[in-house]
Amino acid sequence: MVFRIFRRSANRQVIGRLSGEIVAAARDPVLFTEYGIEDSLDGRFEAVTLHAVLVLRWLNRMDPPAPEIAQDLTDAIFRSFEIALREMGVGDVSVPKQMKTIAGAFFGRARAYDRALRGGAPGLNAALARNVYGGRKNPDRLARYVETANEALAKVPLDAFTLGPVPFPAPAAVR
């Protein structure tokens, strides 16, 4: 138990930087202006989830301590979701129910994106069209961005995640 407390406090700075980089990448204005992700609470959730899933899937495939970092990062992301709900005025009684819904959406997307990235472009396009665009827009460019980001993350050592920067591509550079 004591070891876990020390490990978590030592990871706090790493997790803070890593989650900050994920949020910064997800908030790139190009994703909303050129890619057509809706600039709304739902759209921002989709963008953050997509970037977080890309990082988490690689951390979970690496040797220890990467999976522990992935768990700490997941916990931090969900803490930020909970804080956002509370800041929006969701009451204490409703927060657990809302968090359960958010968790289902997050982990469902994580499974869908992981399966799609292993299966190829058609599956990725379908998952992005369904989740990010609600079936209303063409996901081709976003799929190219996700594939480019996934390839970049696949090539980096743990230090890219723990020391930074995470090599997310610039959305404007992906056509």
| pLDDT tens-digit series, residues 98-113 | 999 999 999 999 999 9
- Check: CB of residue 116 under 8 Å from CB of residue 103: no
Q: Which residue is associated with the tokens 């996700």?
A: 146
Q: Could you write out the DSSP letters of every residue in 19-84?
A: HHHHHHHHT-HHHHHTS---SSHHHHHHHHHHHHHHHHHHHTTSSTTHHHHHHHHHHHHHHHHHHH
What pTM was computed for the model? 0.93
Q: How far apart, in whole angstroms, are the C-alpha atoms of residue 19 and residue 1?
A: 25
pLDDT score for 1: 45
Q: How far apart, in whole angstroms, are the C-alpha atoms of residue 133 and residue 79?
A: 25
| pLDDT tens-digit series, residues 112-141 | 999 999 998 899 999 999 999 999 999 999
Domain definitions of the chain by residue range: 2-161
| pLDDT tens-digit series, residues 4-55 | 544 555 689 999 999 999 999 999 999 999 999 999 999 999 999 999 999 9
Q: What would the two tokens of residue 58 be?
A: 């690689």
- Average pLDDT of the chain is 94
What mean pLDDT do residues 71-85 have?
96
pLDDT at 88 over 50: yes
pLDDT score for 11: 80
Q: How far apart, in whole angstroms, are the C-alpha atoms of residue 143 and residue 167?
A: 17
pLDDT score for 23: 97
Say what percent of the chain tops pLDDT 70. Answer: 94
For the chain, the first-to-last Cα distance in angstroms comes to 49
pLDDT score for 121: 86
Q: How far apart, in whole angstroms, are the C-alpha atoms of residue 90 and residue 80?
A: 14
